[in-house]
Amino acid sequence: MMNKKHITDLLPEYLDGILTKSQIKNIETHLKDCDSCKEELRQFQVLHTAFDSEKEVLPSEKLKSNFYEALELEKQKNPKVVVMDSQPQARKNAWMPNLLKLAASIALLIGGFALGKYQQEQKMNLEIATLQNESLGIKQMAMLSLMENKSASKRIQGVNYIDEFSAPDEAIVKALADRMLHDENANVRLSAVEALEKFTTSETVKKALIISLKTEKDPGIQIAVIQTLVKIQEKKAVAPMQELLEQEDTQPYVKKHIKTVLPSII
């Protein structure tokens, strides 16, 4: 007979599934011959289920709105200047020295303005710009990863996040184009078309829109793409539009739409 006490200690973790294979094997062999441990296991199981079936309570919306308000206030109190302790050792310091540093940076900033120390000012601007770039980098990463999310609504969120960028770089544009052309969900594709509308000066975007015109089957998206292409007077879109007119599976109202807009582009 094996040591029972040893086994009962491990039962909760056994149920959590965080034991090693050999531990699991030991437990299971032991359980076969030991009724008291079986009973223990049954009891732990009941407890386990009781914990799992406990519902999470949601706090009222007020909690969130209050906190967001406080956050906005804090943001106004702390313009980007606070950020300037970019030196790594500053992070280790406690609150008070940082406060002094903050005071010092503000004093410096004001001094810079007052005395018109051009150089000083420029340096600060540079630092702020670097920091803003950093956070832009993170935003970009976030946007890209959101667009890869399994859930369609998250992907739409990712796509809509484009509003944060005034001049998105090629990676983002490509990722958006990719969503527009290949996403399985029509709503995601449509959001991507809408997001790309603002960047039609990019060759990549133009090309992608034309490809979409050839491959897209959803009439709503077809119309959005057509409108965008007409708006920018993209001549290369004419041929695929004529093809759509000839294709049998094109929805009648899409054809009608093409007929109305085609003259304005030729």
Which CB, 47 or 107, lies closer to another protein? 47
Q: Does 78 bind another protein (CB under 8 A)?
A: yes
Which CB, 157 or 185, lies closer to another protein? 157
State the Cα–Cα distance between residues 125 and 133, nearest whole angstrom.
12
Binds another protein (CB under 8 A): choice among 19, 109, 146, 238: 146
Q: Does 109 bind another protein (CB under 8 A)?
A: no
140 in Cβ contact with 171 (< 8 Å): yes
In angstroms, the Cα distances linking 214 to 77, 209, 237, 241, 264 are 52, 9, 10, 8, 20
Q: Does 87 bind another protein (CB under 8 A)?
A: no
Stretch 15-44: interaction string toward another protein, x if CB under 8 A: ----------------------------xx
Among 49-57, 176-184, 248-256, 258-266, the segment contacting another protein (CB under 8 A):
49-57
Among 84-92, 112-120, 173-181, 203-211, the segment contacting another protein (CB under 8 A):
84-92
Binds another protein (CB under 8 A): choice among 105, 112, 152, 154: 154
Binds another protein (CB under 8 A): choice among 117, 139, 174, 255: 139
Among 105-113, 114-122, 143-151, 245-253, the segment contacting another protein (CB under 8 A):
143-151
State the Cα–Cα distance between residues 214 and 200, nearest whole angstrom.
18
Tell me which amino acid residue 67 is.
F
Q: For residue 64, what are its two tokens?
A: 């969130």
Tell me which amino acid residue 181 is.
L
State the Cα–Cα distance between residues 264 and 266, nearest whole angstrom.
6
Q: Does 239 bind another protein (CB under 8 A)?
A: no
Nearest to 247 by CA among 225, 217, 221: 217
Among 116-124, 138-146, 209-217, 244-252, the segment contacting another protein (CB under 8 A):
138-146
Residue 141 burial (C-beta neighbours within 10 Å; 0-12, 13-18, 19+): exposed
Closest approach of another protein to the CB of residue 185, in Å = 18
Q: Does 51 bind another protein (CB under 8 A)?
A: yes
162 in Cβ contact with 168 (< 8 Å): yes
